[in-house]
Structure 1
């Protein structure tokens, strides 16, 4: 039975759409195209003000791997403090050592810094070579859940490992399936793994509201359309819930 449908967003417009679609929790990010980075403080504060459901802030200071420098670590602790000050319900963290094991010391420090906020350990676990040991460490630190695709490119491909994780952790830790979850596969993922939480973006784009602009200059890569705004599609969120009924 599904208990939570988490939607990851990277703008305030999508917060309204996610709630409209039936999300029960928000993962608040910037740069979803990069897998999700830490949102700015302004977005944290506005999300806390407008959300009717719990909001968890991604704590990830840069794109790339999850082996962080001392400077990165200092930034992450400051961002956890900012999320707490903004009034968010929790944070989403994931920290590894060079050998792809969990950075036990840093995770402990981050969990202590939350001071009672909720904690999700994100898909960094999908880069771990020994996921069961990783789960043991995550549970020792009192995290609520792990977001994972079952160590595969998407959650559907990771069904066998997701089930193994659910069976291994039992009620001690929630396994939340994420990556490629859609209305077409969510029922199979939930039924075959026993997960009670799923995570998706429900992403789409809308056209810019601008009526006059030049297409000769680009703000970044020429492959990215600056006038197609990424947003959550509430219909995609609602369709996932309908598929589970």
Structure 2
């Protein structure tokens, strides 16, 4: 069975993703920024209502993945929050100034997660040496790697994703993500040989009546939500594999 992970950043989307056939949730805040750490309250609420595994994004800010010692300490606290909330896993990623995955810090995050599963996220797509860093990620104990194959989308990164899959050789799962949809998911699966994929299936709905005031440079007042039809379309294709 090919598994389907959906990233969400609000409770409404949890119910939609579950009903549409998601196998796992990546829980975030601010998907418009690539996904940041959800609040502890959000983690607790989702843990109460989810019927499928939930992995919390552990990313303390937007921007690059080179975190300061203080930011790293915050990541450790957020990993502890995910454990306390009763979630099933965490999603982490970090790089040093040279674009390499720091082995000691990653191992510390995995150890802090304890019994929780650990996914290494698309920080690998900014790695300056992904082949060597895959070995670091596997050695640290991560169970999967989310990647678009060093490209803007998984479809554009097919050749690198295939090479990653071959390099991993079953030691960890490769999960293509970024731009995955019903039009390309079969191509991605057939080319790479992976057994799980990641998508947002994002849609939008209007919010309050606009008053001409925005809360930030990227805010237009709309609420991003999971589009159940997009998720269901991919689910149907995966069930045929």
Measured against the shorter chain, the TM-score band is over 0.9
Task: Give yes or no for the alignment of 1:225 onto 2:224.
Answer: no
Unmatched runs of 5 consecutive residues or more in structure 2? none
Quote the residue 1:76 is aligned against. Answer: 75
Shift in Å, 1:214: 4.7
Residue aligning to 1:11: 10
Give CA deviations for 1:90-148 in whole Å, capped at 9, x if unaligned. 00000111000101111011011011100000000000121111110111011100000
Give the 3-state SS of the residue equivalent to 2:99 in structure 1: coil
SS at 1:83 equivalent: helix
Q: TM-score, normalising length from structure 2? A: 0.97
Query: How does 1:117-196 map onto structure 2 within 5 Å?
Result: 117-196=116-195
Alignment of 1:99-110 (within 5 A): 99-110=98-109
Q: What residue is the counterpart of 1:29 in the other structure?
A: 28
Alignment of 1:201-216 (within 5 A): 201-208=200-207, 210=208, 213-216=209-212
Deviations 1:27-83 (A, max 9, x none): 000000000000001110011110000000000000001100011011000000000
Q: CA deviation at 1:207?
A: 2.1
Partner of 1:241: 235
SS in 1 for 2:170: helix
In the alignment, the residues of structure 2 paired with residue 37 and residue 178 of structure 1 have an alpha-carbon distance, to the nearest angstrom, of 16
Q: Give SS of 1:172's match.
A: coil
Is the contact between residue 84 and residue 114 of structure 1 (CA under 8 Å) also seen in structure 2? yes
Q: Is the 8 A contact 1:8 1:27 kept in 2?
A: yes
Alpha-carbon distance between aligned partners in 2 of 1:193 and 1:219, rounded to the nearest angstrom: 41
SS of match in other structure, 1:38: coil
Post-superposition, which runs of at least 4 consecutive aligned residues in structure 1 deviate over 6 A?
A: none
- 8 Å contact kept, 1:184–1:243: no
CA contact (8 A) 1:56 1:88 kept: yes
The answer for unaligned runs of 5 or more in structure 1 is: none
Paired residues, number: 239
Contact 2:118 2:144 in 1 (8 A): yes
How far apart, in 1, do the equivalents of 2:56 and 2:181 lie? 23
Q: Which secondary structure state, in structure 2, belongs to the residue aligned with residue 171 of structure 1?
A: coil
The 3 A distance-change label for structure 1 pair 238 and 68 is same
Q: Cα RMSD over matched residues?
A: 1.1
